[in-house]
Structure 1
Amino acid sequence: MSKTLSFACVHFSVAFLVGYLMTGSVWVGGALALVEPACNTVAFHFHEKIWKRIERRRAAASPGALAT
């Protein structure tokens, strides 16, 4: 859990820094630091669901799957 929290802090910091450096606005940097990671989290959820489906299909199609 510590690694996850650490990465979240890095992610928020990078999002803030990029927004701030591009605009010079603390408000825009702050908004980006909140919105971008939230959108990325939702996208990652669907990414994982799709990959699990792909892995299940691959496992079902493999020759070893017929024996189980």
Structure 2
Amino acid sequence: MTKTMTFAALHFSVAFTVTYLLTGSLLVGGAVALVEPAINTVVFYFHEKVWKRYDAKKKHTLSTSSSVIHSH
């Protein structure tokens, strides 16, 4: 959990710093630092679901082709 929290703090810091440097606004930097990581977290959740489905399909394809090779 410590690693997750330090990564979150780093992510918020980067989002704030980049936005602040681009806009010069503390308000915009703070808003982006809160909104972007939250949206990114949701996107990451769905990315993981798709990736797991892809991985399972790949493993199934490999096991199917492997059993065909071994049966000959």
The normalised TM-score by structure 1 is: 0.89
Alignment RMSD, CA only?
1.4
Deviations 1:33-60 (A, max 9, x none): 0010011001101110000000110111
What is the count of residue pairs matched by the alignment? Answer: 66
- CA deviation profile, 1:21-42 (whole Å, cap 9, x unmatched): 1111100000000010011001
CA distance in 2, matches of 1:8, 1:57: 31
Distance between the aligned counterparts of 2:46 and 2:19, measured in 1?
25
Structure 2 gap ranges (5+):
68-72
- 1:40 matched to 2:40? The reply is yes
Mind listing any 5+ residue stretches in structure 1 that lack a counterpart?
none
Q: Give me the identity figure in percent.
A: 58
Normalised by the size of structure 2, how large is the TM-score? 0.85
Counterparts of 1:46 and 1:10, CA distance in 2 = 22
